[in-house]
A = this chain, B = another copy of it.
Amino acid sequence: MDQVEIFKALSNKTRLQILNWLKEPAIHFNEQPNADFENIGVCVGQIQNKAGLSQSTISEYLSILQRADLVCATRIGQWTYYKRNQVGIEELAKIFNSEL
């Protein structure tokens, strides 16, 4: 993954917020029927509600974050759950500390 693309993914208020919300799902989201959000993540609909943007926009934003290895997705039934990709984020922190 190109470093520029990672920073582009982070260059948006909503996407930064999503990343932050996903740090503490229990605080920012409601319980979900099928999935424990600490393990599996938060579904797109909840993130969309919270962000207040259209469904298509949020879906796109999540895939931008995913391409940058900042979140990862799990599909269960008709839901897709997103959570932080802690490995990718730590990788980035390393790049940040060493290369920048």
Contacts and interface: CB of A to CB of B under 8 A. Distances in A.
Interface of A: 3-4, 7-8, 10-13, 16, 19-20, 89, 92-93, 96-97, 99-100
Contact of A93 (B3, B10, B100): B100
**Chain copies in the assembly?**
2
Contacts of A89: 100
A97 B97 CA distance: 9
A75 B24 CA distance: 46
Contacts of A3: 16
A89 B19 CA distance: 21
A87 B16 CA distance: 23
A31 B89 CA distance: 39
